[in-house]
Amino acid sequence: MNATIDPARDAELFSCLFEPRGVVVAGASTHPGKFGFVVLHNILASGYEGKVFATNRDGAEVLGITTVPGIDDLPSGEIDLVVVCTPASSNLDLLRSCAAKGIRAAFLTSAGYAEAGADGVAAQAELVALGRELGMLVAGPNGQGVVSTPVNLCAQMVAPFPPAGAIGVASQSGNFVSSFLNWSTQSGVGVSRAVSAGNAASVTVGDYLEYYADDPSTAVGLAYVEGIADGRAFFDRLRSITPRKPMVVVKGGATAGGARAAASHTGSLASDDRVFDGAMRQAGVVRALTVEAAFEAAATFATQPLPKGPNTVVLTTAGGWGVVTADAITASELHLMELPADLLAQIDTKLPPRWSRNNPVDLAGAETRDTIPEVMEMIATHDDVHAIIYLGLGIQSNQARMMHRGRFYPGYGLDRIVEFHQRQDERYATAAADISTSTGKPILTATELAVTDPDNPGPRAVRSSGRLCYASSNRAVTALEQLWRYARFLQR
Amino acid sequence: MPDATISASTKPAHKTLSEEESKELLRPFGVRFPAEAIVRDPDGAAAAADELGLPVVAKLNGDNIAHKTERGLVRLGLASSQAVRDATTELLAAATPKDGEVSVLVAPMIPSNREFICGVSIDPQFGPIILIGIGGILTEAIADVVLRLVPITRRDAEEMIDEIRTQDLLGSFRGEVPVDRSALADLLLALSTASQARSDILAIDLNPVLIHDGTPIAVDALVELSIQ
């Protein structure tokens, strides 16, 4: 074989990794504590749509799969991906056999490579060379696995299998793949693909993000990186990607800098973190400072339209929340816009005079059955408004819960009011999603009930609408600010 | 070459240029500096001050003189011929053998309430970077700086200026007109061009860049070059 193109730049090979027709687990184990068992279990348990094969030295039956002793015993042309759970020493021969069967992508969970001293470094170099020789995409090694919800593939040695969605995850640390997938499971905002780059011997985080940029199943890339060896190449790569799709990056660890000119003030001011921050800004990458902020930014890109400008209106049912949110907006790159006179006049028709008549739009408890959806629609359809943050969802259902659990239920009309409150919160959540969709403007809903009482019908309905219910207005403001920064970057 | 050193780290052999040489290197790329004179003695300094107009500043000038302020080698607001002479005598006396050949740089004193820093450095992972921030002697303590990778576009330069946290210093400040942001962007672009054109540049400091009638004027320059 004469591979002239770098496998890590070949989108067709990435399709073999993320949308394989068939998968083989090499090194399947009968012991439920071994990775070779867990990977096969997770593939089968998540309902992968393609054919599943497994090798086991003894040809034992594992989870109802009749294994074969070696790759040579498998059919040709039915398998695209091998998930390798065998020791490093046997992997070169294994991959050659795989290539002979038409397998074009491999994910190596095996340890014993560059993370394991000089011998491991040499073994990893051989692995990379073989991948190029065979024209095979070799992901990992020492990685946690690969997830792809469009084909229900969970080929990883850990849980969870996240709900389907549009976030593409690539991480230099397997643990953070798990973190992102856990947030996805908790919030209901789903994932398209997820992969831990492991040692990233030949396929780097940048390579995965490049694939996500053109992947129709993915709306946003979400990456964890640390110890970037060639920062300039990473920057160039991301800068070529961001005009196509938003990319959210969270970075860990200080890099190996420190050898800078002490003679210059510029050199001593140019800390690793400041350089990274500037480079990401320049490349149009959304940099998040924490894992949860990174997930929430990505979830927002995946589920909300981009704002066309910074003008933000806060719609709240109570005063304090609005004040704090206004503070957060003022401290951000968003704009707490003044309400235009015609919008004021419009809202006046729906509310008694005691409403705030200002931004935040504080309904001051004056709302009747239809007020919230109606006022939300008025605000969202105004040309000057670019985004809305909606606060107060779930209050009614919170009271309903207390009534439902109290000793007076269902008498005194409590059964009817409980049902009314719950229905109202569902309506508000649905209205926020529908009005956002119809106007093409982001509407972010924030309430701590999203985490303090996730079963509250308000947050639950936000999840059902496919959107993120933010646990605080500050977190909603942070996410919306990231959307605006990216929108502005695209406008340049 | 007493100033060519190799540190224990990976830093290549390097040398710092004198303030005068640093400015000479940067002028062709569009960095503008005020008129100045290089003198060798108190008489020369007094004559230069006459020509430039009092008050003036006097600074010791020489290769490998990097931290002038820290070493007390900058004399500001010299308002009389005698003050210029005295300062020159003291500066020349303050030179150490390690400084090599030295002279005194005399330049007009530019009144300004605001100081910025612009510069270039090499990052081990990202390569040449460009920086702008709040300058002066407190620059490292305040650390209100914004960075980008070289080369930058005009839009990048504008965003860098926009991202300085202390935006009040760029507006109307203490009765002065706002900073000419376009001229500040020009300065950043000139440094970017210089860094691209001269791969031997390891670092540039323009510190301080003073604001006079809204116009940014670099009154000090330090260029560090690698020695191949």
Residue A278 to residue B117, Cβ atoms within 8 A: no
For chain A, give the percent of residues with pLDDT over 90.
88
For the segment A352-377, what is each residue's pLDDT rounded down to a tens digit?
Answer: 888 989 999 998 877 788 999 999 99
Model confidence pLDDT, tens digit, residues A138-182: 999 999 999 999 999 999 999 999 999 999 999 998 899 999 999
A335-356 pLDDT, tens digit per residue, is 999 999 999 999 999 998 889 8
DSSP per-residue codes, A18-71 = HS-SEEEEET--SSTTSHHHHHHHHHHHTT-SSEEEEE-TT--EETTEE-BSSG
Q: What average pLDDT is seen over chain A?
A: 94
Q: Do A261 and B124 touch (CB under 8 A)?
A: no
Nearest chain B residue to A276, by CA = B126
* Widest Cα–Cα separation across chain A: 81
Answer yes or no: do A274 and B145 touch at CB < 8 A.
yes
Give the separation between CA B145 and CA B135, rounded to whole angstroms: 9
Each residue's pLDDT expressed in tens, for chain B with a length of 228 residues: 333 333 444 556 888 899 999 999 999 999 999 999 999 999 999 999 999 999 999 999 988 787 788 888 999 999 999 999 999 999 999 998 888 889 999 999 998 889 999 999 999 999 999 999 999 888 889 999 999 999 999 999 999 999 999 999 999 988 889 999 999 999 999 999 999 999 999 999 999 999 999 999 999 999 999 987
Contact across the interface for B203 and A267, Cβ inside 8 Å: yes
Count of CB atoms situated within 10 Å of the CB of A159: 15
Q: Which one of A228, A264, A492 has the shortest CB-CB distance to B222?
A: A264
Is some CB atom of chain A closer than 8 A to the CB atom of B66?
yes
Please tell me the predicted confidence (pLDDT) of residue A366: 73
Contact (CB<8Å) A270/B131: yes
DSSP state, residue A150: G
* Separate counts of helices (H) and strands (E) for chain B: 6, 11
Mean pLDDT to the nearest integer, A82-90: 96
Answer whether A7-300 and A305-491 agree in fold.
yes
Q: Which residues have CB under 8 Å from B2's CB, separation 6+?
A: B64, B98, B100
CA distance A209 to chain B (A): 19
Confidence band for A5, pLDDT divided at 50, 70 and 90: low
**Which contiguous run of DSSP H or E holds residue A247?**
strand A247-252
User: Which B residues 86-145 touch A at CB under 8 Å?
Assistant: 117, 119-127, 129, 131, 133, 139-140, 143, 145
Instruction: Report which DSSP code applies to B21.
Output: H
- List, for residues A188-223, the tens digit of each pLDDT value: 999 999 999 999 999 999 999 999 999 999 999 999
Nearest CA in chain B to A265: B205
Q: Point out the residue among B7, B124, B139 whose CB comes nearest to the CB of A269.
A: B139
Domain boundaries, chain B: 14-33+112-226, 37-108
Q: Which residue has the tokens 């909606």?
A: A390
Tokens of A56: 């086991």
Look at residue A2 in the predicted model and tell me its pLDDT.
Answer: 43
Q: How far apart are CA B154 and CA A128, in angstroms?
A: 41
Across the interface, which of A231, A264, A276 has its CB nearest the CB of B205?
A264
pLDDT for position B3: 37
Is 80 exceeded by the pLDDT of residue A258?
A: no
* A305-491 carries CATH number 3.40.50.261: yes
Tell me what the mean pLDDT of segment A50-58 comes to.
96
Give A264's contacts in chain B (Cβ within 8 Å): 66, 119, 121, 202-205, 222, 224
How many other CB atoms sit within 10 Å of the CB of residue A338?
13
Q: Does B174 touch chain A (CB under 8 A)?
A: no
Question: What is residue B11's predicted lDDT score, i.e. its pLDDT?
Answer: 57
What ipTM is given for this predicted complex?
0.89
How is domain B37-108 classified at the CATH fold level? Dna Ligase; domain 1 (3.30.1490)
Name the more confident of A253 and A387.
A387
Question: At CA A206, angle to CA A221 and CA A89, rounded to 5?
Answer: 120
In this predicted structure, the answer to whether residue A277 has a pLDDT above a threshold of 90 is yes
Q: Is A63 within 8 Å of A41 (Cβ atoms)?
A: yes
pLDDT: which is higher, A85 or A1: A85
Asked if B147's CB is within 8 angstroms of A265's CB, the reply is no
Q: Quick check: A235 and B123 CB within 8 A? A: no
Could you say which of 3.40.50.261, 2.102.10.10, 3.90.170.10, 3.40.605.10 is the CATH number of the domain covering A7-300? 3.40.50.261
| pLDDT value, residue B1 | 34
Listed as own residue / partner, the contacts of A343-352 with beta carbons closer than 8 Å and 24 or more positions apart are A343/A378, A343/A379, A343/A382, A343/A384, A343/A385, A346/A378, A347/A375, A347/A378, A347/A379, A350/A374, A350/A375, A350/A378, A351/A375
Structure confidence at residue A260 (pLDDT) = 46
User: CA B135 → CA A217, A268, A276, A313, B35, distances in Å?
Assistant: 48, 13, 21, 37, 21
Tell me which CATH code domain B14-33+112-226 carries: 3.30.470.20
A293: its two tokens = 């902020």
Distance CA A439, CA A444 (A): 14
* Cα A282 from chain centre: 22
B68–chain A nearest CA distance, Å: 11
> Residues of A with CB below 8 A from B143's CB?
269
| pLDDT tier, A470 (very low <50, low <70, confident <90, very high otherwise) | very high
A310, A489 Cβ separation under 8 angstroms? no
Give the CA distances from residue A366 to residues A317, A350, A421, in Å, rounded to whole numbers and listed in that order.
Answer: 8, 9, 15
